[in-house]
Amino acid sequence: MNNQELQADLARVAAEYNHSVLQQAVLENYKDSILLLRAKYASYEKISELLNERDIKVSVATVRKFCRKYQEEAQRLRAEIAADSGTEDKPAPQPTAPANNNRPPLTSEPGKRGPRTARDQL
């Protein structure tokens, strides 16, 4: 296929293309459940996986877009869950690396250039 034929073919495909919001419309039927999962800090990947297991074929990107559309409602649900359980509205604590206060400074003087690297010798 030469360049002109390719351009003509792509122009025809573009003219015939109709964007469908069908996938997000399918998610509207499960809005409450999806937002509850999101309020409980379920990831977009996990929500997509759960839906796909139940024969609702949807991508992670579609779930992400749908959840962001209703982000305020998910935050409201999250606050209600926190109020019902009597805890603050916080995700599970993330492990952090211990602080190492015994480490020497990166440079001996403030503002002084650090150690020489291989790129300086080029």
CA dihedral 65, 67, 71, 77 (to 10 degrees): 180
Give the per-residue pLDDT at 3: 86
On whether the pTM is more than 0.85, the answer is no
Domain boundaries, the chain: 17-88
Helix segments in 17-70, DSSP class H: 22-28, 31-39, 44-53, 60-69
**What are the contacts of 29-34 at 24+ separation with CB within 8 A?**
30/56, 31/70, 34/63, 34/66, 34/67
Question: Does residue 40 contact residue 81 with C-beta atoms inside 8 Å?
Answer: yes
Tokens 């109709």, residue located:
18
Give the per-residue pLDDT at 73: 93
pLDDT digits (tens, 9 = 90+) for 23-47: 678 888 899 999 999 999 999 999 9
